[in-house]
């Protein structure tokens, strides 16, 4: 770590999530605030576009615009033209919503769904490609942190309430096998693993909900680094900047008492810190 953590946008997000670096800017969402957000570090310019429903992620499309995961399904999104329905993922009676996503080097979108009330194991992990959407894992209450190793051979996915980060073998065809525990988070009753990202050395950065920061794990699951933030609920890291050596973090004000918010007024902000190891580039979803 070469610099101090700074709050670059004190936006007070209810549930900031899903940051990605694309087009020289950081894109992310406020799920419960129903907004897609864009922050340009060079100018400090910030943009917020309202969403008609809770929005769990955005992912860039190779043909332009984004895929947005809204509660009722996947939509095509463009800041100027808004939202266009793409497909429904699950029946509405499940009361699920999308939560967190990644795009692999082959242009496949990986995303999870979770129970919006955070009580039922109705969530699943999905893969979307030009052939359609396939369910890859299931029976999860809160899905989180899908990400892929630099060599494309290992896939990671988090079951937040079980405090478990899983690793899988990922085939060139996009199939998962050999599911195994990568790491269990044991930092107290109220600390949970949230979103994750893998850097260029194959190390996994995992945000800590209730843990005031993030941990860096080696490819063997050893904790080898940590970043502390002045916000209790850290939701996901993302590498950005021209050299991909600025590590950004989204955070949330959700579930925090008035007393806690008074103590940590930057909760819900977007944070940044310079790091020594770069991240991986953001890939685009290819549906054709």
> Using one digit for the tens of pLDDT, what is the confidence trace for 194-223?
999 999 999 999 999 999 999 999 999 999
Task: Examine the pLDDT at 2 and tell me if it is beyond 90.
Answer: no
The answer, yes or no, to whether residue 139 has pLDDT greater than 60, is yes
Q: Which residues contact 225 (CB under 8 A, 6 or more apart)?
A: 1, 203, 215, 216
* CA pair distance 23, 44, nearest whole angstrom: 15
> Which positions are annotated as active-site residues?
194
User: Is residue 1 predicted with pLDDT exceeding 80?
Assistant: no
The per-residue pLDDT for 288 is 80
**Rama region for 172: left / alpha / beta (φ>0; ψ in -120 to 50; rest):** alpha
Plot region of 3 (φ>0 → left; ψ -120 to 50 → alpha; else → beta): beta
In 3D, which of 23, 29, 83 has the Cα closest to residue 56? 29
Burial of 222 (0-12, 13-18, 19+ CB in 10 A): exposed
- The H or E element spanning position 26 is strand 25-30
Strand partners, 250: 236, 270
pTM over 0.75: yes
pLDDT score, position 214: 98
Q: Where are the domains of the chain?
A: 6-274
Please tell me the predicted confidence (pLDDT) of residue 279.
98
Fold of 6-274: Neuraminidase (2.120.10)
């Amino acid at each position: 770590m070469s610099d101090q953590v700074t709050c670059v946008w004190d936006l007070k997000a209810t549930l900031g999530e899903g940051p990605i670096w694309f087009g020289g800017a950081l894109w992310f969402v406020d799920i419960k605030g129903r907004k897609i957000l864009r922050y340009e570090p060079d100018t400090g310019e910030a943009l917020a576009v309202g969403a008609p429903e809770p929005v769990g992620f955005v992912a860039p499309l190779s043909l332009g615009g984004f895929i947005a995961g809204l509660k009722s399904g996947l939509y095509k999104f463009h800041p100027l033209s808004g939202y266009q329905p793409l497909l429904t993922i699950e029946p509405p009676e499940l009361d699920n919503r999308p939560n967190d996503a990644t795009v692999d080097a082959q242009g496949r979108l990986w995303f999870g769904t979770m129970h919006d009330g955070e009580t039922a194991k109705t969530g699943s992990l999905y893969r979307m490609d030009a052939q359609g959407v396939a369910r890859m894992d299931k029976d999860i209450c809160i899905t989180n942190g899908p990400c892929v190793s630099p060599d494309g051979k290992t896939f990671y996915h988090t079951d937040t309430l079980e405090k478990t980060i899983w690793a899988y073998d990922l085939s060139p065809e996009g199939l998962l096998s050999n599911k195994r525990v990568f790491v269990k988070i044991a930092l107290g009753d109220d600390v949970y693993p949230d979103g994750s990202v893998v850097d260029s050395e194959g190390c996994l950065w995992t945000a800590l909900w209730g843990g005031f920061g993030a941990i860096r794990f080696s490819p063997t699951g050893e904790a080898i680094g940590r970043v502390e933030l002045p916000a209790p609920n850290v939701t996901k890291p993302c590498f950005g900047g021209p050299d991909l050596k600025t590590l950004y973090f989204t955070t949330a004000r959700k579930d925090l008492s008035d007393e806690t918010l008074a103590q940590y007024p930057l909760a819900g902000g977007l944070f940044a810190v310079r790091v020594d190891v770069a991240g991986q580039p953001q890939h685009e979803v290819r549906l054709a």
